[in-house]
Amino acid sequence: MAKLTKKQKEAHAKVEHGKEYSLAEASALVKDINYAKFDASVDLDVRLGVDPRKADQMVRGVVALPHGTGKEVRVLVLCTPDKEQEAKDAGADHVGLDEYITKIKGGWTDIDVIITMPTVMAKVGQLGRILGPRGLMPNPKAGTVTLDVAKAVNEVKAGKIDFKVDKTGIIHASIGKVSFTPEKIEANATELLQTLSRLKPSSAKGTYFESISMSSTMSPGIRVDKNSVQGI
């Protein structure tokens, strides 16, 4: 195991081992323990009491964070020519269809979100092997396959994120930046956790929120007391 640097030791020392902090405390502490020299992301890891191998316990969805993610989201819209101007006016970074499909087949994936239309999904489907592993494949449930491409672009740019439980039952999501105020971090975290609460599968038995942890890029994790979160 690599030795901790002085700054890493200082960060770890500020987090009391085994303690569960209120969401408000964690939202303030995550700023205090950040030692990165850049505006690090604030991440929430939520372990759910579900079995993702069962289709009726697969938790996935979208949430519009009230204060956004704090990062510039690069959006590609794959659409028919009649929708191109609409997508550009909404702020899409790249707009087109066949030329971008060819570009992606050649290995280009320098984007964060792809939005497309139901009518061109047959073409986009050819890219599944490339986009799927990178989490870039458009999906109707995430709102990225739609006829209203302008609305979808606006929502993504404003801070709408999609999430999906992984094979170990954990949701990983970026909910902001350490430059955010504690109040904004707490509000974004609350919105995500309340959304997860509403998506609880009826077939999931026992404890639903098994653990909640907040961290910034490279920082230690802060355990969050689920009882301190309103509405879950």
Q: What are the helix (H) ranges across the chain?
A: 6-13, 23-32, 81-89, 98-105, 121-124, 128-131, 149-158, 182-198
Cα(132)–Cα(49) distance, integer angstroms: 25
The verdict on residue 1 lying in a domain is no
Residues 188/71, Cβ–Cβ less than 8 Å:
no
Cα(183)–Cα(47) distance, integer angstroms: 23
My answer on whether 164 and 65 are in the same domain is: yes
Strand partners, 172: 45
My answer on whether 219 and 209 are in the same domain is: yes
Final residue in a domain of this structure, among 119, 137, 158: 158
My answer on whether 43 and 102 are in the same domain is: no
Tens-place pLDDT, residues 86-124: 999 999 999 999 999 999 999 999 999 999 999 999 999
Q: For residues 217, 222, 228 and 232, what is the CA-based torsion angle, rounded to 10 degrees?
A: 60
My answer on whether 143 and 195 are in the same domain is: no
Tens-place pLDDT, residues 19-37: 999 999 999 999 999 988 8
* Buried b / exposed e along 74-106 (16+ C-beta atoms within 10 A): ebbbbbeeebbebbeebebbbbbbeebbeebee
My answer on whether 106 and 221 are in the same domain is: no
Host domain of residue 172: 18-69+160-228
Could you tell me which of 162, 208, 199, 203 has the C-alpha nearest to residue 56?
Answer: 203
Query: The domain that contains 213 carries what CATH number?
Result: 3.30.190.20
pLDDT for residue 11 is more than 90: no
Q: Which amino acid is at 123?
A: K
